[in-house]
Amino acid sequence: MFTFNTPFLFFTGKGGVGKTSLSTATAISLADAGKRVLLVSTDAASNLDEMLGVPLRNTPVAVPGVPGLEVLNIDPDAAAVAYRERALLPLSSATEQVRATVREQLSGACTTEIAVFDEFTSLLADGPGARDFVVFDTAPTGHTLRLLSLPRAWSGFLEGNDRGASCLGPHSGLKSQENRFRAALDVLVDAARTTVVLVTLPEPSCIAEAARASEELLALGLHHQRLAVNGVFTASLRDDAVALALEARGRHALESLPPALATLPREEIPLRPFDTVGLPALRALWGGGAPPSQPRTEGPAPKMDSLATLVDELAQADHGLIMVMGKGGVGKTTIAAAIALGLVERGRAVHLSTTDPAAHLAATLEGDRAGLTVSRIDPKVETEAYVEKLMAQREATLDAAGRALLLEDLRSPCTEEVAVFHAFSRLISESRRGFVVLDTAPTGHSLLLMDATGAYHRQALRSLEPSLNPSRITTPLMRLQDASLTKVLLVTLPETTPVSQAEALQVDLRRAGVEPFAWVVNRSLAASTTRDPLLAARIAGEHRQLARLSAGLSKRTFVVPWLAEPPVGLEALAALAGPRSPASSSA
């Protein structure tokens, strides 16, 4: 385990690489060594409660069994409620109409992001206090880079702006907090106070994202970096083809580290035969305790359908929106690309797009295919287009001062959230005429996008003229709720944490009136012929998760097997979706 000498520790990386496991195991190890530690999750889809066995709150909670350790989850909803209350407090003497207007301004996803940012900067600007360490378990890379860039973005936006950020209402009081934002930025870029641990698996896509994150963090001024390679596997049987292929893949990836990572101090954490849930497993992750006992698994794994069967079903329609959702690192991009190519092979034209800030579609496809259009909702591009459109619409009605003020307002970092939502809405509309397959960002970021969709829906209904019939309005959320148009696929790995997070996502979707169509279990070793003891232990864990799904968690489940060669490129991805079945051919 690394030796840390800064009070603030950030663990970041591609979704599914083990950030939560390593950050939590580190916090426990530091507390076991007698340090006072606060573990903070900035992930809207955190599963720290399941891992530690304690309910998460927006205030520090002591962790039983680990003296000196407290855990805090920056819950977006709770943070937004507190932020709204603070914003409305100075308006106690205002008219109800004024308060209602501000409440409406504070109802969107942008307010949620600002509320999370507000909590985050407080922890940095106020210092560790009586604690020795504050350990941040962050959201997947794209969302984390945005969070870490906000102190600089807001400081730059507020500099010389004596009117504050008036564009969306919630930011009118931010000018008074400028000093706190600058203090937070000072902490982030101070190598004596902040260390960033880049977490990766020994896989090319994870390593490439860690390298990109390293370079972007350097550009933000965060130079004190470490590299943690999680899940390094060594075969114990030299005649086991599956085990040897898995070991060789990891070894080759580590031998080919890009320069941005090769020079960083590095720790390699072996692949463990157990899921990192519970204190014994978390202590054993760094080798600090006995491995936890695993329950026995009786009988074979439940039978599940293949991805080809799923694509056959989807191809029965001639249009629709297919949203691929789930925790980071479960292979959403691979599954989305395979489904899109499978539909093309079955004679359908498809638009494949992504909302992920760390998009990998181009690298996954490695080529073009007739009938397939590929795009990306790029936040920067969408924001520029959105600002240009609004300026063009308003330019004729504003004088020079008014145009300058509007442009100043639109420089607000939260304009990006609005622009991304508009791009998302266009894709939903396009799915009424053809197939749109959408590779979404990891769970937490997707939930914020869904929150924006719900906020727009509520605002649209509130703004209806009294004479208009609500049944005549159709919002993007209503399109997502339409099961004949939208098919939501939850992608998971056959492991405890990804399944639990997909289950939590399913609950959130159902709360919004969106019913998942099916689950896709990716990279299953259960069908392989391996005899390696460590892999056999993990297969036993897979059987337990598949049984959990078949017991009612999932209405339909499709399984994609683990492959010795990762499915990259058009041909490999098309093969993953399988050939058109005879039944589909005759349809």
pLDDT, tens only, 426-479: 898 999 999 999 998 754 455 555 555 656 555 555 555 555 555 555 677 788
List CB contacts of 244: < 8 A, sequence separation 6 or more.
235, 238
Q: Over the stretch 96-145, which tens digit does the pLDDT of each residue have?
A: 776 676 666 666 555 666 677 777 778 887 778 889 999 988 765 445 55
The verdict on whether 21 is a catalytic residue reads: yes
Mean pLDDT of 324-333: 86
pLDDT confidence bin for 49, thresholds 50/70/90: confident
Mean pLDDT of 503-529: 89
Q: Could you tell me if residue 352 is inside a domain?
A: yes
The predicted structure's pLDDT at residue 513: 86
Q: Which of 251, 285, 319 is the last residue of a domain?
A: 285
Q: Could you tell me if residue 468 is inside a domain?
A: yes
Residues 253, 338, single domain; the answer is: no
Number of domains the chain contains: 2
What's the CATH number where 25 sits? 3.40.50.300
The verdict on whether 497 is a catalytic residue reads: yes
Mean pLDDT of 539-562: 91
pLDDT confidence bin for 1, thresholds 50/70/90: confident
Which is the catalytic residue, given 14, 19, 332, 487? 19
Which is the catalytic residue, given 18, 68, 320, 329? 18
Residues 109, 244, single domain; the answer is: yes
pTM: 0.74
Residues 232, 146, single domain; the answer is: yes
Residues 183, 273, single domain; the answer is: yes
Handedness of CA 91, 94, 96, 102 (dihedral sign): negative
Q: Could you tell me if residue 232 is inside a domain?
A: yes
pLDDT, the chain, mean = 81
Residues 431, 571, single domain; the answer is: yes
Between 209-213, 461-465, 486-490, 559-563, the lowest mean confidence (pLDDT) is in 461-465
Coil, helix or strand for 415? helix
Q: Could you tell me if residue 293 is inside a domain?
A: no
| End-to-end Cα separation, the chain, in angstroms | 58
Inform me whether the pLDDT recorded for 170 exceeds 50: no
pLDDT confidence bin for 484, thresholds 50/70/90: very high
Segment (H or E) for 419:
helix 415-430
Residues 310, 275, single domain; the answer is: no
Q: Over the stretch 279-307, which tens digit does the pLDDT of each residue have?
A: 999 999 987 666 766 665 555 556 779 99
The predicted structure's pLDDT at residue 342: 95
**Cβ of 332: how many Cβ atoms within 10 Å?**
32
The predicted structure's pLDDT at residue 350: 96
Between 140-154, 205-219, 407-421, the lowest mean confidence (pLDDT) is in 140-154
The predicted structure's pLDDT at residue 165: 40
Residue with tokens 């009117």: 163
Kindly state the tokens that stand for 440.
């979404």
The predicted structure's pLDDT at residue 299: 56
The predicted structure's pLDDT at residue 177: 58
Inform me whether the pLDDT recorded for 321 exceeds 50: yes
The verdict on whether 43 is a catalytic residue reads: yes
Task: Quickly list DSSP for 516-531.
Answer: --EEEEEEE-TTS---
Beta strand extents in 358-418 (DSSP E only): 372-374
Residues 277, 311, single domain; the answer is: no
The predicted structure's pLDDT at residue 167: 35
Q: Could you tell me if residue 339 is inside a domain?
A: yes
Which is the catalytic residue, given 12, 20, 121, 440? 20
Q: Which domain holds residue 58?
A: 8-285
Mean pLDDT of 361-387: 85
Distance of alpha carbon 407 from alpha carbon 426, whole angstroms: 24
Q: Could you tell me if residue 2 is inside a domain?
A: no
Q: Could you tell me if residue 547 is inside a domain?
A: yes
The verdict on whether 19 is a catalytic residue reads: yes
The predicted structure's pLDDT at residue 359: 59
The predicted structure's pLDDT at residue 374: 92
Inform me whether the pLDDT recorded for 357 exceeds 80: no
Q: Over the stretch 53-109, which tens digit does the pLDDT of each residue have?
A: 888 888 889 999 999 999 988 877 777 777 777 767 766 677 777 667 666 666 655
Which is the catalytic residue, given 12, 21, 364, 554? 21
Exposure string of 545-557, with b = 16+ CB inside 10 Å and e = fewer, is bbebbeeebbebb
Q: Would you tell me the crossing angle of helices 76-88 and 96-105 to the nearest 10 degrees?
A: 150
Which is the catalytic residue, given 42, 195, 475, 497? 497
Residues 434, 501, single domain; the answer is: yes
Handedness of CA 214, 331, 341, 419 (dihedral sign): negative
DSSP assigned state of 328: T
List CB contacts of 194: < 8 A, sequence separation 6 or more.
6, 8, 9, 10, 187, 188, 222, 224
Residues 515, 544, single domain; the answer is: yes
Residues 369, 260, single domain; the answer is: no
pLDDT confidence bin for 169, thresholds 50/70/90: very low
Residues 269, 320, single domain; the answer is: no
Which is the catalytic residue, given 6, 12, 15, 16? 16
The DSSP bridge pattern shows strands 61-62 and 69-73 to be antiparallel
The verdict on whether 288 is a catalytic residue reads: no
Which is the catalytic residue, given 24, 26, 29, 43? 43
Inform me whether the pLDDT recorded for 152 exceeds 60: no
The verdict on whether 18 is a catalytic residue reads: yes
Distance of alpha carbon 427 from alpha carbon 175, whole angstroms: 36
Residues 56, 120, single domain; the answer is: yes
Q: Could you tell me if residue 94 is inside a domain?
A: yes
In the beta sheet, which residues pair with residue 266? Answer: 227
